């Protein structure tokens, strides 16, 4: 029997946010030693880019894996928009006691995307979070994440 092709669809979203990297128990000097200029408590910003990979069968009726309108609502409106023009440290509860590293941001985003992509009966196969062309993280599932 012929089975439907499984294809991965990738969609990118962008948001601008401020953050800083500091540990409360360290002095200004120690924070600078550890995190460099990113430790400035007055914050700095990035134009973050998020690439989401979603896989599933191509539905013969539509020729699509996922209705891009549904993916846009999840990614842009439900998951990314709440971060846009925010200070991640001060305005996103997940980071109240956590460093706003790319690694932690990736876990935050994965945790919010996963149940939503699951609800479309699709697989979230990968997530890339970039703060610039030169620096990004990727996650492909399978490990324990921060709650
Ligand atoms: Ni930064």
User: 4 CA distance to ligand 1 centroid (A)?
Assistant: 43
| Spans of all domains in the chain | 6-139
State the Cα–Cα distance between residues 23 and 52, nearest whole angstrom. Answer: 30
Going by pLDDT thresholds of 50, 70 and 90, the confidence category of residue 76 is very high
User: 67 CA distance to ligand 1 centroid (A)?
Assistant: 34
User: 100 CA distance to ligand 1 centroid (A)?
Assistant: 8
Going by pLDDT thresholds of 50, 70 and 90, the confidence category of residue 3 is low
Q: Which helix (H) or strand (E) holds 52?
A: strand 44-57
User: 140 CA distance to ligand 1 centroid (A)?
Assistant: 23
User: 125 CA distance to ligand 1 centroid (A)?
Assistant: 26
Determine the pLDDT at residue 114.
97
Determine the pLDDT at residue 88.
98
pLDDT tens track for 14-44: 999 999 999 999 999 999 999 999 999 999 9
User: 44 CA distance to ligand 1 centroid (A)?
Assistant: 6
Q: At 51, give phi and psi (nearest 5°).
A: -110, 120
Best CA proximity match to 102, nearest among 82, 68, 126, 128: 128
Determine the pLDDT at residue 144.
79
User: 19 CA distance to ligand 1 centroid (A)?
Assistant: 6
Q: Which fold has domain 6-139?
A: Tetrahydropterin Synthase; Chain A (3.30.479)
Burial code of 126-141, b = ≥16 C-beta within 10 A, e = fewer?
A: bbbbbbeeeebbebee
What mean pLDDT value characterizes the chain? 95
State the Cα–Cα distance between residues 13 and 49, nearest whole angstrom. Answer: 6
Q: For residue 65, is pLDDT > 90?
A: yes
């Amino acid at each position: 029997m012929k089975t439907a092709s499984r294809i991965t669809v990738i969609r990118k979203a962008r948001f601008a946010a401020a953050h800083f990297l500091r540990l409360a128990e360290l002095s200004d000097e120690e924070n600078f030693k550890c995190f460099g200029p990113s430790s400035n408590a007055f914050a700095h910003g990035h134009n973050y880019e998020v690439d989401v990979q979603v896989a599933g069968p191509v539905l013969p009726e539509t020729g699509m894996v996922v209705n891009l309108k549904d993916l846009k609502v999840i990614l842009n409106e439900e998951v990314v928009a709440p971060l846009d023009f925010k200070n991640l440290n001060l305005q996103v509860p997940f980071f109240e006691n956590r460093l706003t590293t790319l690694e932690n941001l990736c876990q935050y985003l994965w945790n919010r995307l996963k149940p939503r992509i699951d609800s479309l009966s699709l697989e979230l196969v990968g997530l890339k979070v970039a703060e610039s062309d030169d620096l990004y993280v990727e996650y492909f599932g399978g490990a324990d994440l921060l709650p």
